Amino acid sequence: MDLADIGVTGLATMGRNLARNLARHGYAVAVHNRTAGRTEELVAQFGGEGTFLPATDLKSFVASLKRPRRAIVMVKAGPGTDAVIDQLAELMEPGDMIVDGGNALFTDTRRREAALREKGIHFVGTGISGGEEGALHGPSIMPGGSRESYEALGPILEDIAAKVDGVPCATYVGPDGAGHFVKMVHNGIEYADMQLIAESYDLLRQALGATPAELAEIFREWNAGELESYLIEITAEVLAHVDAETGKPFVDVVLDQAEQKGTGRWTVQSALDLGVPVTGIAEAVFARSLSGHPEQRAAARALAGPAVSGVADRSFVEDVRQALYASKIVAYAQGFDQITAASQEFGWDIDRGAMATIWRGGCIIRARFLDRIRQAFDADPSLATLLVDRYFADALALAQDAWRRVVSTAASIGVPTPGFSSALAYYDALRRDRLPAALIQGQRDFFGAHTYRRVDREGAFHTDWSGDRAERPA
Ligand code: 6PG
């Protein structure tokens, strides 16, 4: 019997499309799903696209794989993943590979990798971005795990990934949970990017009284410049869409409560643990949470707002574009800082330029701008922050006046722009010669004898605030 090059278990949309992508690239693909109907459906509908080896149970699925076996698990992240992994591991041998292509929490991936390593099985936690279309036509793939497993898997993943200038959007990320971590931060950045775009829309609509159709045109124009990206492109599409039933702009008939599956929240939780200020991502997560509190929003509708509600000047459009670009640079810089911190914490040795490279295509945050990020990290792999790279520093310098005007206009007309405002605050805080953190240290020492360091001497000190106020080494 002919054996499969690789297998996919879990044939919901993402798994099915990934299996088809593999088959279309000439790989013989073993396919399995808990309910056999889906497997049969896949083979009946798409069997002509390549070689599929359907299996009705995991035992025959594993038996149909070439050695070393490569099995991709595409089930919803959570306890279900553990069950499938455990069953596969029972059926596999040392040297085989289990690839988790779901959005798993990186700490779960670390745990699973360690457990399977004991058995000699490679566990490859892999970020896959690009939605259903990406899975089928070329996603961005972020695999973690052992280098050895990448030798056997990498060529296949690079083959089916999106390509930009002939370069695949897939590369080895790092050991154990590194791949899922990078995917998580990708999603966090996705949240920040979406929030910033949403603020631009809201502000322009409110300030200029522009219609969604007019705003679609503005986003379309923006997409021809430095903001060119998938998210800007689809924003124009969504804004131009008209609801068939009511004839109203689609955006006006959608309930304004943003949902989330959790990866943005995980990014912020991890950033808190790592001590990395990902303010753009955090504001985006909180903005979604706030939108989901209709009772409070209804109660607050009576609160006082400003007298002015708009601006007449069309130059505001360009100001908002600049504010969006500058805030986006900050959000990406923060996301990359989080990757840097985790890479150090967990010994992953992640190449940031390579991550920017594989995000250039296939994934949700794909953008022209990522090529600039790649160049920045390639030119200086130890760059302290993306903001100081020459290209980005110049872009921020050019944008900052407009950015400040946008944030102050938004405040004066009462349009919330947490993304723009916090990004500007971050930019200004980072630039500051002295921060009020010195005062906070004084307060901490006053009420809790928490001690402080001085600018002119080594060591920790405490002032006897309740006594003679003399300073003593701590
Ligand atoms: C991707 C996306 C995807 C994610 C959705 C949902 O990279 O293809 O990030 O993995 O599932 O974007 O995210 P929320 O439901 O949390 O908005």
Q: What is the pLDDT of residues 4-55, one digit of tens each?
A: 999 999 999 999 999 999 999 999 999 999 999 999 999 999 999 999 999 9
Is the model's pLDDT at 1 over the cut of 90? no
What pLDDT does residue 472 have?
97
Is the model's pLDDT at 78 over the cut of 90? no
Is the model's pLDDT at 235 over the cut of 90? yes
469 SS3 class: coil
Ligand 1 binding pocket includes 130 (Cβ within 6 Å): yes
Q: Which of 190, 194, 268, 288 to mutate to test the pocket of ligand 1 (most atoms within 8 A of CB)?
A: 190
Cα–Cα nearest to 56, from 75, 74, 78, 39 = 39
Q: Which of 137, 186, 263, 291 to mutate to test the pocket of ligand 1 (most atoms within 8 A of CB)?
A: 263
Ligand 1 binding pocket includes 107 (Cβ within 6 Å): no
Lowest mean pLDDT among 56-60, 61-65, 79-83, 437-441: 79-83
Nearest CA residue ID for atom 1, ligand 1: 129
Kindly give the distance from the C-alpha atom of residue 103 to the centroid of ligand 1, in angstroms, as a whole number. 8
Annotated catalytic, 295? no
| Cα 346 to Cα 107, 118, 154, distances in angstroms | 11, 19, 22
Q: Which of 140, 259, 261, 289 to mutate to test the pocket of ligand 1 (most atoms within 8 A of CB)?
A: 261
Ligand 1 binding pocket includes 234 (Cβ within 6 Å): no
Nearest CA residue ID for atom 14, ligand 1: 260
Kindly give the distance from the C-alpha atom of residue 187 to the centroid of ligand 1, in angstroms, as a whole number. 6
Tokens of 149: 């497993």
What pLDDT does residue 308 have?
84
CA 105 to CA 87: how far, in whole Å? 20
What is the enclosing helix (H) or strand (E) of 370? helix 369-379
Q: What is the pLDDT of residues 301-315, one digit of tens each?
A: 999 999 988 887 889
CB-CB contact of 419 with 284 (8 Å) = yes
Q: Which of 364, 366, 370 to mutate to test the pocket of ligand 1 (most atoms within 8 A of CB)?
A: 364
Nearest CA residue ID for atom 2, ligand 1: 129
Tokens of 115: 């457990």
CA 334 to CA 385: how far, in whole Å? 8
What pLDDT does residue 328 have?
98
CB-CB contact of 99 with 73 (8 Å) = yes
CA 184 to CA 182: how far, in whole Å? 5
Kindly give the distance from the C-alpha atom of residue 177 to the centroid of ligand 1, in angstroms, as a whole number. 18
Q: What is the pLDDT of residues 381-434, one digit of tens each?
A: 999 999 999 999 999 999 999 999 999 999 999 999 999 999 999 999 999 999
What pLDDT does residue 79 have?
85
Question: Mean pLDDT of all residues in the chain?
Answer: 97
What is the enclosing helix (H) or strand (E) of 129? strand 122-129
Q: Which of 190, 199, 283, 328 is labelled catalytic? A: 190
Ligand 1 binding pocket includes 190 (Cβ within 6 Å): yes
Q: What is the pTM of this model?
A: 0.97
Amino acid at 365: I
Q: What is the pLDDT of residues 318-368, one digit of tens each?
A: 999 999 999 999 999 999 999 999 999 999 999 999 999 999 999 999 998
Is the model's pLDDT at 197 over the cut of 80? yes
Annotated catalytic, 190? yes
Residues of the chain above pLDDT 90, percent: 97
CA 44 to CA 86: how far, in whole Å? 30
Is the model's pLDDT at 273 over the cut of 90? yes
Is residue 68 reached through a cis peptide bond, with omega within 30 degrees of 0 on the bond before it?
A: yes
Is the model's pLDDT at 143 over the cut of 90? yes
CA 463 to CA 458: how far, in whole Å? 16
Ligand 1 binding pocket includes 215 (Cβ within 6 Å): no
Q: What is the pLDDT of residues 446-466, one digit of tens each?
A: 999 999 999 999 999 999 999
What pLDDT does residue 463 have?
98
Kindly give the distance from the C-alpha atom of residue 223 to the centroid of ligand 1, in angstroms, as a whole number. 22
CA 90 to CA 61: how far, in whole Å? 13
Kindly give the distance from the C-alpha atom of residue 191 to the centroid of ligand 1, in angstroms, as a whole number. 9
Kindly give the distance from the C-alpha atom of residue 61 to the centroid of ligand 1, in angstroms, as a whole number. 29
What pLDDT does residue 70 have?
98
Cα–Cα nearest to 440, from 424, 451, 429 = 451
Nearest CA residue ID for atom 12, ligand 1: 187
What pLDDT does residue 310 have?
81
What pLDDT does residue 57 have?
97
Q: Which of 183, 199, 283, 328 is labelled catalytic? A: 183
CA dihedral sign, ordered 7, 9, 15, 17: positive
Atom of ligand 1 nearest to the CA of 191: 17
